[in-house]
Amino acid sequence: MSKINNQSNLFNIEGVQDICYESAASYSGGIRVYTGANFTGQVRTAKGVPDLSVSDRLEGVKFNNEISSIKNDTDKPWAFYKKAGYSGERFTLKPGQSMKFVGRRFNDTITSYRSEADGGGQAAS
């Protein structure tokens, strides 16, 4: 019989350990977006968001039109869009690629993003 139900502390269970944001993003297939340049400010790790204005209201945070830097530690390219519902002008971040600053054109304008495995995009330059 498993000892899992008798444990008072999750970390007492064999094989359970705390992991950092980078590892969590990689394991979960997520990506990290930051409100500040150079990977500063608030950070969000998610699998994709069709409308940041809606998720911001639900979660009590502010990422809509606030993203300035991005890290893609996944094995998939990710597309970032200026409008909700994965629409409008976009760019793609390749697997393992990071952007310390998304550039003037996209700084504080991203409203939705998703893995290219779930939809389209075009390569970031």
Give the residue extent of every domain in the chain.
19-115
CATH code for the part of the protein at 19-115:
2.60.20.10
Q: pTM (2 decimals)? A: 0.71
3-state SS assignment for residue 16: coil
Count other C-beta atoms under 10 Å from residue 61's C-beta: 14
How many Å apart are CA 99 and CA 71, to the nearest integer? 6
| Chain centre to alpha carbon of residue 3 | 35
pLDDT in tens, 71-125: 999 999 999 999 999 999 999 999 999 999 999 999 999 999 999 887 654 544 4
